[in-house]
């Protein structure tokens, strides 16, 4: 542990699994580098403070409720409105507190999607750095949203249209169908949210990325050119600590699947999970179930409560389905994903291509089957299959058995994908070592945060 710096960093997280985890990992990294940490969080999806005895937690009364969560777009819009006042009050109090007198607040680090925090920080003359928890390549695509609007791609996304397959020249190899859009009746609301998210990111003092140079150097160059603020690609954040210490999942993880994996041969199991937000219909659920059963490969499948709108959990499976697998398939509600991906029995990851899942898979050298649902997932899937070439994209659910076979049956294509995945795993490891790109970037970030001294709030 490095000596204490006598400076405190405030964090404001977006209360969603894929955002909260990397933010808490970053807070741990800064704490182990001598900074004191205060996590400001909402009552909705609040983190468990007992897991972080060294941090101070401050809860804001956000008036968000789980029922509002059914629509991601509306949730994000509401959050950026409802949190302004309680956040302003909370930060004001923290800046005037005895704690802040002892250890001056150096800056605020907040999620890029919490764009409202920029206005509050400006008002209080508090330096703000953005944490972008998703990849840089998808950010470049988000930044091109005026283009989608101009060309009417959002409506194309909703009405199945032959242009969906067309490559978007400015964002190659993305096709129209890979653009980071969301199905919505209110495209203007989505564009407005993107506009604010980009403007307030530009207005910040820098961006911390959960990514690394070797993976996204081209996108980092583009974004640095367009946003004239410092960029700190310091990821993969979850690899700074052992997986048990870096995971702060909001859902309790079923550890029993590790013992089950222990009974399986190396590279034999398909791990299946669609993250914390994606939802599927019962028909899709059954197609996936039969695809897995018919593939004849062992599988570990995370069926989150709420994955299907129509049922609570796996009631839709025909009776006798699980028994007929004779131990070849295990279904759990939530898995210790980082440990699962690091397990030698896992040979492929069928994923929704959320950024954390993508990065966690890359870090363990596990080839992916990508089935994106919305926003950045579509970009990530295209990069996995066509840029890094460490996986295949499932474009048609009728192809499930075939695509599992392509990745698991040991043919030349699968071998090449696995070799590239292992090479990328090595790059992800080297970047965190002394002299590696993420390690150097973290050093630059620490120096940068300490340079904010002169900006520190002085209570009047």
Strand-pair category, 269-273 with 299-302: parallel
- Return the structure tokens found at 341: 């991906």
Closest separation in Å from C-beta 332 to ligand UDX: 7
Nearer to ligand UDX, 275 or 436 (CB): 275
* Nearest distance from C-beta of residue 11 to ligand UDX, angstroms: 17
Among 277, 308, 392, 403, the residue binding ligand UDX under the rule CB under 6 A is 277
Q: Does 272 bind ligand UDX (CB under 6 A)?
A: no
Question: Can residue 355 be called a binding residue for ligand UDX (CB under 6 A)?
Answer: yes
Three-state DSSP class for 446? helix
Q: How far is the CB of 443 from ligand UDX (least distance, A)?
A: 25
Q: Which one, 127 or 275, has the nearer CB to ligand UDX? A: 275
Asked if 377 interacts with ligand UDX (CB under 6 A), we say yes
Q: How many CA atoms lie within 13 A of 316 on its CB side?
A: 20
Structure tokens that stand for 26 in this block: 């970053």
Least distance in angstroms from the C-beta of 312 to ligand UDX: 17
* 336/347 with CB nearer ligand UDX: 336
Q: Please tell me whether residue 243 binds ligand UDX under the rule CB under 6 A.
A: no
Among 38, 246, 248, 356, binds ligand UDX (CB under 6 A): 356
Going through 168-210 in order, the beta strands assigned E by DSSP cover: 207-209
DSSP state of 159: S
C-alpha span between 455 and 460 (Å, rounded) = 14
Q: Out of 204, 337, 393, 441, which residue is the one contacting ligand UDX (CB under 6 A)?
A: 337
Is residue 302 close enough to count as binding ligand UDX by CB under 6 A? yes
Looking at 61-69, 79-87, 308-316, 369-377, which segment touches ligand UDX (CB under 6 A)? 369-377
Q: CB neighbours of 115 closer than 8 A, spacing ≥ 6?
A: 80, 196, 197, 199, 200, 201
Q: Is 393 in the site for ligand UDX (CB under 6 A)?
A: no
**Which stretch in 16-24, 286-294, 437-445, 451-459 sits in contact with ligand UDX by CB under 6 A?**
16-24
Distance CA 365, CA 282 (A): 32
Structure tokens at 206: 């820098």
Q: Residue 375, interface with ligand UDX (CB under 6 A)?
A: yes
**Least distance between ligand UDX and beta carbon 341 (Å):** 8
Closest contact distance (angstroms) between CB of 150 and ligand UDX is 25
Residue 335 beta carbon to ligand UDX: minimum distance, rounded to whole angstroms: 4
Choices 320-328, 333-341, 342-350, 386-394 (CB under 6 A): range interacting with ligand UDX: 333-341
Q: Per CB under 6 A, does 361 bind ligand UDX?
A: no
- 249 makes contact with ligand UDX (CB under 6 A): yes
Q: Measured from the CB atom, is 361 or 438 closer to ligand UDX?
A: 361
- The backbone region for 357, taken as left when phi is positive above 0, alpha when psi lies in -120 to 50, beta otherwise, is alpha
Q: Which residue has the tokens 């291509």?
A: 353
| Euclidean distance between CA atoms 405 and 401, whole angstroms | 6
DSSP assignment of 47-84 equals --GGG-TTSEEEEE-----GGGGGSHHHHHHHHHHHTH
- Asked whether position 134 contacts ligand UDX by CB under 6 A, the answer is yes
157 binds ligand UDX (CB under 6 A): no
* Interface pick for ligand UDX out of 9, 13, 17, 207 (rule CB under 6 A): 17
Taking residue 335's Cβ as centre, other Cβ atoms within 10 Å add up to: 26
d(C-alpha 132, C-alpha 233), whole Å:
10
Interaction of residue 338 with ligand UDX, rule CB under 6 A: yes
- 23, 43 in Cβ contact below 8 A? no
**How far from chain centre, in Å, is Cα 145?**
20
- Using CB under 6 A as the binding rule, whether residue 276 contacts ligand UDX is answered as yes
376 contacts ligand UDX (rule: CB under 6 A): yes
Distance, in Å, from the CA atom of 232 to the CA atom of 290, rounded to the nearest integer, reads 44
315 CB-contact burial (10 Å; exposed 0-12 / middle 13-18 / buried 19+): exposed
Q: Give the nearest distance from C-beta 28 to ligand UDX in angstroms.
A: 14
**Which range touches ligand UDX (CB under 6 A), out of 10-18, 101-109, 226-234, 447-455?**
10-18
- The CB density around residue 290, as the number of other CB atoms within 10 Å, is 15
Other C-beta atoms closer than 10 Å to the C-beta of 316 total: 17
Give the C-alpha separation, 217 to 233, whole Å: 10
- Give min distance, CB of 180 to ligand UDX, in A: 9
Q: Where on the chain is the footprint of ligand UDX (CB under 6 A)?
A: 16-19, 21, 133-134, 249, 253, 273, 275-277, 302, 334-335, 337-338, 354-357, 360, 375-377
């Amino acid at each position: 542990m490095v000596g204490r710096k006598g400076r405190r960093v405030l964090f404001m997280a977006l209360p969603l699994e894929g955002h909260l985890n990397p933010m808490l990992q970053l807070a741990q990294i800064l704490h182990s580098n001598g900074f004191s940490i205060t996590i400001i969080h909402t009552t909705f999806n609040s983190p468990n403070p007992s897991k972080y005895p060294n941090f101070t937690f401050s809860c804001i009364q956000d008036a968000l409720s789980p029922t509002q969560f059914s629509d991601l777009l509306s949730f994000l819009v509401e959050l950026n409105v409802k949190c302004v006042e309680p956040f302003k009050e909370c930060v004001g109090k923290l800046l005037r507190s005895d704690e802040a007198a002892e250890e001056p607040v150096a800056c605020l680090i907040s999620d890029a999607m919490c764009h409202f925090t920029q206005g509050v920080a400006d008002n209080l003359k508090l330096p703000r750095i953005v944490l972008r928890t998703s990849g840089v390549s998808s950010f470049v695509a988000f930044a091109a949203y005026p283009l989608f609007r101009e060309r009417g791609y959002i409506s194309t996304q909703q009405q199945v249209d032959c242009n969906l397959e067309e490559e978007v020249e400015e964002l190659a190899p993305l096709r129209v169908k890979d653009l980071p859009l969301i199905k919505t009746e209110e495209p203007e609301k989505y564009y407005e949210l993107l506009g604010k998210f980009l403007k307030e990111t530009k207005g910040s003092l820098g961006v911390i990325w959960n990514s690394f140079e070797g993976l996204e150097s081209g996108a980092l160059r583009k974004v640095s050119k367009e946003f004239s603020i410092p960029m700190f690609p310091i990821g993969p954040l979850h690899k700074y600590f052992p997986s048990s210490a870096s995971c702060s999942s909001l859902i309790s993880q079923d550890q029993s699947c590790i013992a089950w994996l222990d009974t399986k041969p190396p590279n034999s199991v398909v791990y299946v999970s669609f993250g914390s937000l994606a939802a599927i219909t019962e028909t899709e659920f059954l197609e996936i179930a039969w695809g897995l059963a018919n593939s004849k490969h062992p599988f570990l499948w995370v069926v989150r409560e709420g994955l299907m709108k129509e049922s609570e959990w796996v009631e839709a499976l025909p009776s006798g389905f699980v028994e007929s697998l004779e131990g070849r398939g295990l279904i759990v509600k939530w898995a210790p994903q980082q440990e699962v991906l690091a397990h030698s029995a896992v040979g492929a990851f069928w994923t929704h291509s959320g950024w954390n899942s993508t990065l966690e898979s890359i870090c363990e050298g596990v080839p992916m089957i990508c089935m994106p649902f919305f926003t950045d997932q579509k970009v990530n899937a295209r990069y996995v299959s066509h840029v890094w070439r460490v996986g295949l994209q499932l474009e048609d659910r009728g192809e499930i058995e075939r695509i599992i076979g392509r990745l698991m049956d040991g043919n030349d294509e699968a071998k090449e994908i696995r070799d590239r995945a292992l090479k990328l795993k090595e790059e992800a490891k080297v970047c965190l070592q002394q002299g590696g790109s993420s390690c150097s970037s973290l050093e630059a970030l620490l120096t940068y945060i300490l340079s904010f001294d002169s900006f520190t709030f002085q209570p009047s």
